[in-house]
Structure 1
Amino acid sequence: MANSQLLVPEAKNGLSKFKNEVASEMGVQFSDYNGNLSSRQCGSVGGEMVKRMVQQYESGIK
């Protein structure tokens, strides 16, 4: 059974801002409707977000 409840609701705005910053740097424009974007574009933004979060985490534990 899937749980769609947010674990940290306060993080939603921060992640949205982060997503838009990364997308902007990559030349991908997100909006309320993203049906005109390819899966590759959306996936590359998500992948870059994860990469940066992992790097930030790793730099904090060293």
Structure 2
Amino acid sequence: MDSKLLLLLTTMRMPYGKYKGWILCDLPEPYLVWYHSKGFPEGKLGMLLHTLYEIKLNGLEYLLKPLRK
């Protein structure tokens, strides 16, 4: 897994919607499950949200903790 990708998950903010302004790694799991069922958006954001979904689904959030500032 690319460390730059993990770093983006801990710094990039959600650009729209109910959780606008939240750092991606702070998004609640049910929101990511909803995206998984409806389809992730296109592009970089969709790829990041899908990656975060997989991280949370598999209990790997501990990988992000050292990267948080």
If you compute each CA radius of gyration, which structure gives the higher value, 1 or 2?
Answer: 1
Same-fold status (TM-score > 0.5): no
TM-score (norm 1): 0.30
TM-score (norm 2): 0.28
